[in-house]
Chain A
Amino acid sequence: DAMVIQNPRYQVTQFGKPVTLSCSQTLNHNVMYWYQQKSSQAPKLLFHYYDKDFNNEADTPDNFQSRRPNTSFCFLDIRSPGLGDAAMYLCATSRPTGQGRSKLFFGSGTQLSVL
């Protein structure tokens, strides 16, 4: 089945040690998103890609970067993780326009712990 896959399911890193989370999709969607969801909170959009066009949310910290080498893959890089970055990171995809834009397909998330 076509889907959005996030690896790993759980990631542990050390304070200040760079970490990369990955997301892949078989849906061939143009748009890919990264959301951060802290414990007992609503998901919050960090940034999204429309094809190669990167769109950063105004309040996303500089510590968070992203790469999209091709249509299928997107990476979230946290350059110097702090304790406050411990969260579930959700990747999602959608078509770019029309009603397809409003239908997001989410991956199962990566739970990041920072020690």
Chain B
Amino acid sequence: AQTVTQSQPEMSVQEAETVTLSCTYDTSENNYYLFWYKQPPSRQMILVIRQEAYKQQNATENRFSVNFQKAAKSFSLKISDSQLGDTAMYFCAFMPYSGAGSYQLTFGKGTKLSVIP
């Protein structure tokens, strides 16, 4: 079974500043996907960024980038130039690449991010 741990229940950042959200995970799988999802007050879950474990290059999507350390099983999210619209709950999630459970997203408990004007 996989576990995903987010050790920061809440964080805040000044508008236009940079913030990093932490995530660690535990798995015996070698191939898998990692994700960061954003859940704003509207509650709709929105995919922010996806990383495939076999790719060494860190994924980036505009102001969002990850630091993927496979050996350390660490997957942090960096948000640059924070905007008020980034205020949301952020979930780190894991999905095996194949086999049992390969349709299941395992989520961490989330980090509530507040962007302060």
* Residues of A in contact with B (beta carbons under 8 Å apart): 31, 33, 35, 41-45, 48, 50, 55, 57, 88, 90, 92, 94, 99, 101-104, 106-109, 111
Contact = CB atoms under 8 A, between A and B. Distances in A.
Nearest to B89: A40
Interface residues of B, number: 20
A41 B91 CA distance: 10
Given A43-B45, A90-B45, A92-B45, A102 B109 contact: no
A50 B109 contact: no
B33 interface: yes
Interface string B36-47: 000000111111
16 contacts: A33-B103, A35-B105, A42-B107, A42-B108, A42-B110, A43-B91, A43-B107, A55-B103, A92-B45, A94-B103, A101-B102, A101-B103, A102-B35, A102-B50, A107-B44, A111-B43
Contacts, number: 47
A109 B43 contact: yes
A44 B50 CA distance: 19
Given A88-B43, A99-B52, A103-B50, 17 more contacts: A42-B91, A42-B107, A42-B109, A42-B110, A43-B45, A43-B91, A48-B104, A55-B103, A90-B45, A101-B102, A101-B103, A102-B35, A102-B50, A104-B105, A106-B44, A106-B46, A109-B44
B95 interface: yes
Interface of B: 33, 35, 42-47, 50, 52, 91, 95, 102-105, 107-110
Closest 4 interchain pairs by CB?
A42-B107, A106-B45, A102-B33, A108-B44
A56 B66 CA distance: 32
